A = this chain, B = another copy of it.
């Protein structure tokens, strides 16, 4: 049955909603697909339900194709399993926690590794039961600090999460590859530009985690690419360790008075004025070793200071650092913290006091670009003093390295060959070789061929379902409205009666019935008292890819077919209207 505009629960808006940040989101609200209830919490209206249903169907088909079985875990969950893996606390404020009437702690599931793991543990016991792949599609909850851009980053959202269970790494690799292929098919069908990037994978490292990012200048994720096909989320970029350099001709380190130089800029100016380099070039920020202090807050609440040494012309990238120190959170190192460490001369802090063996006992990690043998100007741990020609490995060492420095356009790729460019994206999918982390925490073991208990190896795979609708909207619109890819459109054809003449409606009814008889879905603008101009505007806004206009031309036996994306129009004989529309819908 056609969706009829005369009865459809819809009120298109001519004005942009006040709270909408991005163009696609504005159009989804204006065209009546979604409606905001609270920050990051949305209602899906009838047109939105149609699109959402089609996204879900694509995902179901592609998951079935790789043999993944659909289940549904509750969204309201008991605390205990999330305690066992530490995530009850690690999730911090992101987790919606609540108590039931018996004062039992519960949570709204942000993702379900624990629950799947426990279900498999309960039901399976042998390697013969594996491999296994399960998925669900359902509401997830994350109490985002800054819910953003409508359905792109909601606090309640639909996610498809899958989990694979295998007896060994070879099985996991196979499951991972199958999911990767399924995701490629899903995202190709959804119809937006995406890139597959290496993602941070915490302790796992390597290629065990990839993200599917929708390429979008308004995205919250930054990723890098090089000319050889390398692509990674900026959090996952591994800056290569700079090769050792020869320091044999570097003079001994000298401490100099550099009064009033607590910043890199003031230092560089002072050095160029008072201590010019002997090699003829000027000092730059890149010659200085900047030591940045942060405070880590561990899940148990303990606070641990951390010092990061990196070239003075680079900043610490907060997101890259967060990934490295998770589950600890990063806070600023404040005045009161300085008071606790009197050996730290603020603005003049150097490796002389930093490091777990040094007077501060503060762990000290270097950016990998700080080569052994390289010489630096850095703080001398006394106000107004810096030390020049301090050589890494000769005059100072650190506790290790950390991947926390900012990544810049033009940086060398991790392989040392490519040149990085930066772009922004929206995370649409994430595939992740979890390994045994959850299975170990929750005791998921099965008997292997030799009757020995082995821990099951898991993979976890997610697609943002509601987010996908948002991304498609961001990627498929023009100034007049949305332009849905055919597979996601709320209907195949939008039939507009551009007349108030009842005879035209009678003819239109007949054509609509004819089109529907071919299994083609119609959105039918059968409104009697709305002007053709308003109907055309609504059709452009709603964005069904094919528009059939039945109006004045009918007197000459003509109707008009319009392609929403190209704007191309053509007249066809009314007698062949059904066939033409069906052909158009089926071919494209």
**Chain A positions near chain B (C-beta within 8 angstroms):** 1, 7-11, 32, 35, 37-38, 41-46, 49, 52, 64, 67, 69-78, 93, 96-98, 100-101, 106, 108, 115, 119, 122-124, 132, 134, 139, 141, 143, 145, 155-156
Contact = CB atoms under 8 A, between A and B. Distances in A.
A132 B9 contact: yes
Contact of A156 (B43, B76, B122): B76
A522 to B, nearest CB: 15
Q: 9 nearest interchain CB pairs?
A: A98-B98, A11-B123, A44-B72, A93-B101, A38-B78, A46-B69, A41-B74, A76-B156, A43-B73
A44 B134 CA distance: 12
Contacts of A42: 74
A97 B123 CA distance: 33
Contacts of A70: 46, 49
A76 B101 contact: no
A67 B132 contact: no
24 contacts: A8-B69, A9-B132, A11-B123, A11-B124, A35-B119, A35-B122, A41-B76, A41-B78, A43-B74, A43-B115, A44-B71, A44-B72, A46-B71, A49-B70, A49-B71, A49-B72, A74-B156, A75-B156, A76-B96, A76-B108, A76-B141, A93-B101, A96-B98, A100-B143
Nearest to A75: B139
Contacts of A78: 37-38, 41
A9 B123 contact: yes
Contacts of A97: 98
Contacts of A45: 71
A52 B139 CA distance: 17
Nearest to A43: B73
B132 A101 contact: no
Contacts of A9: 69, 71, 123, 132, 134
B115 A37 contact: yes
Contacts of A123: 9-11, 32
A531 to B, nearest CB: 15
Contact of A155 (B37, B76, B119, B132): B76
B46 A101 contact: no
A468 to B, nearest CB: 16
Contacts of A67: 7
A40 to B, nearest CB: 9
B77 A37 contact: yes
Contacts of A139: 75, 139
Nearest to A3: B69
A334 to B, nearest CB: 22
Nearest to A529: B128
Given A11-B123, A42-B74, A49-B72, 11 more contacts: A38-B106, A46-B69, A46-B71, A75-B75, A75-B156, A76-B108, A76-B141, A76-B156, A93-B101, A98-B98, A100-B155
Contact of A73 (B8, B37, B46): B37
A43 to B, nearest CB: 5
Nearest to A145: B101
A75 to B, nearest CB: 6
A123 B9 CA distance: 8
A301 to B, nearest CB: 17
Contacts of A43: 71-74, 115, 119
Nearest to A108: B76
Nearest to A7: B67
A141 B10 CA distance: 28
Given A9-B123, A44-B72, A132-B9, A101 B49 contact: no
Contacts of A69: 7-9, 46
Contacts of A77: 37-38, 41
A93 B104 CA distance: 13
Contacts of A49: 70-72
A207 B373 CA distance: 90
Contacts of A35: 119, 122
A73 B70 CA distance: 23
A430 to B, nearest CB: 23
A36 to B, nearest CB: 10
Contacts of A11: 123-124
Contacts of A32: 123
Contacts of A44: 71-72
Contacts of A72: 43-44, 49, 52
A74 B145 contact: no
A74 B139 CA distance: 9
A101 B71 contact: no
A76 B44 CA distance: 14
A43 B109 CA distance: 13
A397 B93 CA distance: 61
Contacts of A155: 76, 100
Nearest to A94: B101
Contacts of A106: 38
Contacts of A100: 96, 143, 155
A10 B171 CA distance: 20
Nearest to A132: B9
Nearest to A118: B37
A216 B238 CA distance: 64
A517 B115 CA distance: 36
A93 B101 CA distance: 6
Contacts of A93: 101
